[in-house]
Amino acid sequence: MAAAGALKMRAMTLKAPRQPLELRELPIPEPGPGELLIRVHACGVCRTDLHVVDGELDNPKLPLIPGHEIVGRVVAVGAGAQGFAPGDRVGAAWLGWTCGQCRFCLSGRENLCESARFTGYTLDGGYADYTVSDARFTFHIADGLDDKQSAPLLCAGLIGYRSLRMAGDPQRLGLYGFGASAHIICQIARWQGRRVFAFTRPGDKDGQAFARSLGAEWAGASDEAPPEQLDAAIIFAPVGALVPAALRAVDKGGVVVCAGIHMSDIPAFPYRILWEERSVRSVANLTRQDGDELLALAPKAQVQTHVEIFALEQANEALERLRSGRITGAAVLSML
pLDDT, tens digit (0-9, with 9 covering 90-100), for 201-245: 999 999 999 999 999 999 999 999 999 999 999 999 999 999 999
Q: How much of the chain exceeds pLDDT 70, in percent?
A: 98
Split at pLDDT 50, 70, 90, the class of 2 is very low
As a whole number, mean pLDDT of residues 252-280 equals: 97
As a whole number, mean pLDDT of residues 73-97 equals: 97
Q: How far apart are CA 91 and CA 236, in angstroms?
A: 23
**Do 160 and 196 contact (CB within 8 A), yes or no?**
no
At residue 299, the 3 state secondary structure works out as: helix
Determine the topology of domain 4-154+305-334 in CATH: Quinone Oxidoreductase; Chain A, domain 1 (3.90.180)
Specify the pLDDT at position 227.
97
Q: Is the pLDDT of residue 269 over 80?
A: yes
As a whole number, mean pLDDT of residues 61-84 equals: 97
As a whole number, mean pLDDT of residues 174-184 equals: 97
As a whole number, mean pLDDT of residues 302-317 equals: 97
Mean pLDDT taken over the chain: 96
Q: What is the pLDDT of residues 118-157, one digit of tens each?
A: 999 999 999 999 999 999 999 999 887 899 999 999 999 9
Specify the pLDDT at position 5.
52
Question: 286 φ, ψ to 5°?
Answer: -165, 170
List alpha helices for the chain, DSSP H: 47-53, 103-106, 147-150, 156-166, 180-191, 205-213, 242-249, 288-300, 315-323
Q: How far apart are CA 299 and CA 296, in angstroms?
A: 6
Q: How far apart are CA 288 and CA 139, in angstroms?
A: 8
Q: Is the pLDDT of residue 1 over 50?
A: no
**Do 275 and 250 contact (CB within 8 A), yes or no?**
no
Question: Which option is the CATH number for 158-282: 3.30.1300.10, 3.90.650.10, 2.60.120.380, 3.40.50.720?
Answer: 3.40.50.720
Specify the pLDDT at position 144.
79
In the chain, domain spans = 4-154+305-334, 158-282
At residue 72, the 3 state secondary structure works out as: strand
